[in-house]
Structure 1
Amino acid sequence: MQITVGVGAGAKHLGVDRVVDLGPLHPSAHGAYRLRLTVRDDEVITSAEPLVGHLHRGAEKLFEVRDYRQVLTLANRHDWLAAFCNELAVALAVERMTGMDVPPRAQWLRALLCELNRVMAHLVFLAPLTDPVAAARGREAVQAVLEEASGGRIHFMANRIGGLREDVPAGWAERVAGALDAVEVPEVPTGLAGLGVLSRADALARGVTGPIGRASGVDLDLRRDDPLPAYRELDVRPSVRDGGDAHARVACMVDDLAQAVALARECLRRLPGGPVNLRLPKAVKAPEGSVYTRVEAPLGVSGVHLASRGEKTPWRLKLRTPSFNNVQALSALLPGTPVAQLPLVLGSFAVVVGDIDR
């Protein structure tokens, strides 16, 4: 848009920034959110404001009127690409408050299923930027064994308080090994260097975690830094880069994908026998008090703050979701980005909106 001052040959044209609303975006962007951009005349973004609230689920209030078994059903839905990790974080909170000792086989199966969930989620985000056919082939293979183990294709509901709902079928481990063989770790695409730079200081200020945070030099991975029992025996080496640009973000996700495949293979090799759950009373009640648990979900730290008054329902169950923190970083990394490069930058920045508007 231009503003004209004066008339005739002496008229002057003053450039005026345009405000462009993108969204609410199409559901193929993993939920409806808006980006309010200010764009100069030379088609460069000068400011960006992510606007959320279009997909509000009300999950945290729904938790308060459901018992702990029913809570797990809701807990895996806010990030539909990290369902297993989400329900695990809630199960861990109740188990720690009640002092449950989860059987070793359940601990190793949980780690294995978390890594399979990570592979599936990363392939979804990498597909548009790399080889979509190969990514879809690997994702479908992994999704098939996750569905076989849990009975659910997206919302797995495999966890329960005290372990897993049931053991995996006979021959499942061999089929998982075959599914992992079908996963191709893609090459990092060219043309992303220098786009959408997020500094380490900005990432820390906004609590950005996961591959996006590690791409900006935030060396945090709970599988190594605050590990669950099975992860204590695994060699977790997160990929950390300091570029902070679109290339670094995609490279960290590719590296994370490769590591998840390797960790899943190691879990298969070390999977012990025995039971996968504990016998529970008819009504599970957490004692009065509070606890905070967290896991390394595909997009970053997924945490649960559980406050209980000794009843069979939570008094308060607050979620700390990675996408809620990560999406705020768009306001720091988008200024200076040419509009023509916006799809590449947003493609390198993975968020799930249900995880924001939970």
Structure 2
Amino acid sequence: MPTVVAEHPKKSQILAALEDVDTSFTDVDPLENTMVLNMGPQHPATHGVLRVLIKLDGETVLGSVPELGYLHRGYEKIAENATYHEFIPHTDRLDYLAPLSNNVGYVLAVEKLLGIEIPKRAEYIRVLISEMARVASHLVAVGSMAMDVGALTVLLWTFREREKLLDIYDVLCGARFTTSYTRIGGLLQDWTDTCTAMLTKFLDEFDQDMKEVQQLLFTNRIFIERCENVGYISRQQCIDMGMTGPILRASGVPRDLRRDNPYLVYNDLDFDVITAQESDALARFHVRFSEAMESAKILRQAMQKLPAGPICANETKKVLPRKDRVYTKMEELIHDFMLINMGIDPPVGEVYQGIESSKGEFGIYIVSDGTGQPWRLKIRSPSMVNLSALPVMIKGAMVSDIVAIIGSIDPVMGEADK
């Protein structure tokens, strides 16, 4: 049988069908020009999977809601089901631009719980790797913020410098990115003469290379106009919201845990706490730039004062033995087997250890029930805390300024989302 094709409805039939349907458009204020935009989570300016819901009036931001959690992996819960040694590699995946800082902060908390004192050489090496991580992270922040406002050349220069540090990581740790270098009670392996030579060469070139960045940006009218008086947050708001790191110091508060609550051997080193007063995006840029230069000064001092000696504490029931001894000594093999499979035997109690990472105060809070796994482990993420200030910073700003403001916060979403 032939296929019957229904006749297309006539215009009069369509109008008749719509006669009882209200298709009119009404608005309370015909001059109102507000709209809501989604920025992210896949947006190059958000520095990761960050979604920001923005309400605009034309190009002016009326309000915003940052939405975090797209990179959440449940690391705090993972820690409760892992031994204290097993969780070290996971700390690399928090602030992945400064993994060595995460390593140091975590093991310092565990060592405080266990009451372990590490050798002086290990403390100095931890300072070296922490400051290298700070420089590497600030180089990315400086270059990325410059790129966000149109200065791509600076990003290429800062990544060139960062590559030199990653080469040192490779020699020292055996990895360029996720290092897992620290150990509870010590370090994976010793600092070598090769590392000293590479770091010395880097520092000799670093000052001149950063002067090139300074000459390109510090008097650049376009860069200054894009960042000056943008993303302002008051000093009191920074304190009330728990801001730390360059954001807080850019508001005039000279808070730095390396000086205010010293750990490792920072008491023996001479350095300045960099601050600014303007508390805008440009001030935060200047603070990070100057902190990178200050870290270079700390690195030179730490290399000069680096003492000889062991790199691991002599605590056989708490500290993993060296692999060469595991392969040749029965007693070390037994200790290694017990620590890997059963974990350490900590006292019942709770500890908190904070360090001054490149983003701010990175803290680890541990509650121990006396077993080989933490009963509770809380990570204080400076990126997450600092992002809570984003609605304050971008309210009233132009939509084109949002990229500069997010760049001035310098969030790492792996750390923020945990």
Partner of 1:201: 236
* 1:189-212 superposed Cα distances (whole Å, 9 cap, x missing partner): 422211110111211121111111
Query: Per-residue deviation at 1:139?
Result: 0.6
Query: Per-residue deviation at 1:218?
Result: 2.6
SS at 1:325's partner residue? helix
Query: Per-residue deviation at 1:40?
Result: 0.7
Query: Is the Cα contact below 8 Å between 1:223 and 1:236 reproduced in 2?
Result: no
More helix by share: 2
Q: Given the alignment, which residue of 53, 57, 60 partners 1:36?
A: 53
Partner of 1:240: 275
Stretch deviating more after TM superposition (98-107 or 343-352): 343-352
Partner of 2:369: 309
Unaligned runs of 5+ in 1: 7-11
SS at 1:137's partner residue? helix
Matched, 1:190 2:206: no
Matched, 1:260 2:291: no
SS at 1:313's partner residue? coil
Give the Cα–Cα distance (whole angstroms) in 2 for the partners of residues 30 and 152 of structure 1: 23
SS at 2:365's partner residue? strand
Give the Cα–Cα distance (whole angstroms) in 1 for the partners of residues 298 and 256 of structure 2: 14
Q: Which amino acid aligns with 2:410?
A: A
SS at 1:235's partner residue? coil
Stretch deviating more after TM superposition (104-113 or 239-248): 239-248
* 1:258-311 superposed Cα distances (whole Å, 9 cap, x missing partner): 111111111111111111112432322221100000100001000010110111
Partner of 1:9: none
Give the Cα–Cα distance (whole angstroms) in 2 for the partners of residues 305 and 218 of structure 1: 25
Give the Cα–Cα distance (whole angstroms) in 1 for the partners of residues 265 and 48 of structure 2: 33
Query: Per-residue deviation at 1:344?
Result: 2.1
Matched, 1:291 2:307: no
Matched, 1:112 2:128: yes
Give the Cα–Cα distance (whole angstroms) in 2 for the partners of residues 318 and 5 of structure 1: 49
Give the Cα–Cα distance (whole angstroms) in 1 for the partners of residues 85 and 43 of structure 2: 33
Matched, 1:173 2:196: yes
Give the Cα–Cα distance (whole angstroms) in 2 for the partners of residues 121 and 332 of structure 1: 25
Partner of 2:186: 163
Partner of 1:354: 414
* 1:152-196 superposed Cα distances (whole Å, 9 cap, x missing partner): 211111110001111023322111111223333232442221111
Aligned residues between the structures = 350
TM-score (norm 1): 0.93
Give the Cα–Cα distance (whole angstroms) in 2 for the partners of residues 35 and 119 of structure 1: 28
Unaligned runs of 5+ in 2: 1-24, 318-334
Give the Cα–Cα distance (whole angstroms) in 1 for the partners of residues 368 and 230 of structure 2: 46
Give the Cα–Cα distance (whole angstroms) in 2 for the partners of residues 27 and 103 of structure 1: 44
Query: Per-residue deviation at 1:57?
Result: 1.1
TM-score (norm 2): 0.80
CA-atom RMSD in angstroms: 1.7
Partner of 1:122: 138
Give the Cα–Cα distance (whole angstroms) in 1 for the partners of residues 195 and 276 of structure 2: 36
Stretch deviating more after TM superposition (177-186 or 98-107): 177-186
Matched, 1:71 2:87: yes
Q: How does 1:198-237 map to 2 (within 5 A)?
A: 198-237=233-272
Partner of 2:382: 322
SS at 1:100's partner residue? coil
Give the Cα–Cα distance (whole angstroms) in 1 for the partners of residues 92 and 44 of structure 2: 19
Give the Cα–Cα distance (whole angstroms) in 1 for the partners of residues 175 and 415 of structure 2: 19
Distance 1:314 1:5, change over 3 A: closer
Distance 1:29 1:341, change over 3 A: closer
Stretch deviating more after TM superposition (217-226 or 247-256): 217-226
Higher alpha-carbon Rg: 2
Q: Given the alignment, which residue of 339, 342, 350 partners 2:399?
A: 339
* 1:23-75 superposed Cα distances (whole Å, 9 cap, x missing partner): 1134784421101111112x111112111111111000000111111111112
Query: Is the Cα contact below 8 Å between 1:116 and 1:146 reproduced in 2?
Result: no
Distance 1:27 1:17, change over 3 A: closer
Q: Which amino acid aligns with 1:221?
A: D
Query: Is the Cα contact below 8 Å between 1:40 and 1:46 reproduced in 2?
Result: yes
